[in-house]
Amino acid sequence: MRAGIGLREVAERAGVSMRTVSNVVRGTGRFSETTRERVLHAVEELGYRPNTAARRLRTGRSGVLLLAVPDLSMPYFAELAGHLLREAAGLGRTLLVEATGGRPEAELEIVLGRTDPLVDGVILSPLALDDRAAARAGSTTPLVLLGERVHDLPCPHVTIDNTGAAREATAHLLARGRRRIAVIGRQTVPHAATSATRLAGHRQALERAGLRHDETLAPPVAAYHRADGAAAMRALLDLPEPPDAVFCFADALAQGALHAVRERGLTVPGDVAVVGFDDVEEARYAAPPLTTIAPDKRELARLAVTALVDRTGARTPAESTVLIAGHRLVVRDSS
């Protein structure tokens, strides 16, 4: 960040008034989307950051937000965190990032508002959030959840149409002539909403094609890491009648599956077609490049940050709303 950069310099670069810059940065007032984009571009280009201490004295808020995700070593969360950081900075907010490890107690502490008192609000991607949180939620700290709505918490939920996306992925494999389609990503733990919704979409696509879901083609996994994908793929290849395609509920699982297929001397997509989910950067450089569902991560980030900033200045009680970002199927060589 260059020294001495303030509202005036941003306003001059964007060709708007200082008041407009202030409104965009604070997320208040009325302005067009074109104006917002122009101001945010100038903010990023100049490296402008508001004075947090002065803001807290003036408004009672620090401008500091917290993002809590299960595991930053997972490519999807790392990439999403990058988009969230940029969106927060564009609105003049500082975003702190921490990993919960998917521990129920850590997620519960966040839902109950037991975070740093300087934090204005929290974006949480829960993995093990249970009914205790829903029953005891009532924190004054604004909260936005990323992922499927599995609890009636009074806060915005930002997600994609996971069921529809999974249906598209399986329909793509069916259209390629595959009929024995396995899934990797089924979880048996409580509140595994991502697994449940993606499995539902997969089954819907099979039913529409007049096919029956075979439980032996859906081995459970403990987590969504590469090793879990490889282990599940090995189990599938050991079946008396192995699958001719596999739909993985995360690109990391798909990477593991690709490794296991190559390990057996088989080819993708010749022997087994593979589709992933997330469209992380490494999917484009897999061998072969991975067909995958691409959530609009930028839109997810924009919806989450905007919803949280809106909540930090709201005087009315929070409402349980669902905000849906887009997605698309990206077809590459693996299918």
CA distance 212 to 95: 46
Q: What is the reported pLDDT for 130?
A: 65
CA distance 29 to 116: 28
Q: What is the reported pLDDT for 286?
A: 94
Record the tokens describing residue 44, joined without a space: 């990023």
Per residue in 27-53, is it b (16+ CB within 10 Å) or e — as a string? beeebeeebbebbbebbeebebebebe
Task: List beta partners, residue 294.
Answer: 328
Q: Which DSSP letter does residue 283 get? A: G
Q: What is the reported pLDDT for 54?
A: 46
CA distance 301 to 62: 20
Q: What is the reported pLDDT for 249?
A: 98
Q: What is the reported pLDDT for 56?
A: 46
Task: Kindly give the parts of the chain with pLDDT less than 50.
Answer: 1-3, 52-60
Q: Which H or E run includes 248? A: strand 245-248
Q: Helix 75-90 crosses helix 297-312 at what angle (to 10 degrees)?
A: 50
CA distance 205 to 279: 21
The pLDDT > 90 percentage for the chain reads: 51
- Indicate the burial class of 122 (C-beta count within 10 angstroms; 0-12, 13-18, 19 or more): buried
Q: What is the reported pLDDT for 27?
A: 61
Q: What is the reported pLDDT for 58?
A: 46
Per residue in 317-331, is it b (16+ CB within 10 Å) or e — as a string? ebeeeebebebebbe
- With beta carbons less than 8 A apart as the criterion, state whether 106 and 94 touch: no
Q: What is the reported pLDDT for 50?
A: 61
Q: What is the reported pLDDT for 89?
A: 86
Q: What is the reported pLDDT for 240?
A: 96
Torsion of CA 265, 267, 272, 275, to 10 degrees: 120
- Phi, psi dihedral angles at 248 (to 5 degrees): -100, 135
CA distance 231 to 281: 23
Q: What is the reported pLDDT for 116?
A: 63
CA distance 98 to 7: 30
- Minimal CA–CA distance to 98: which of 130, 65, 141? 65
- Minimal CA–CA distance to 99: which of 59, 126, 63, 119? 126
Q: What is the reported pLDDT for 99?
A: 86
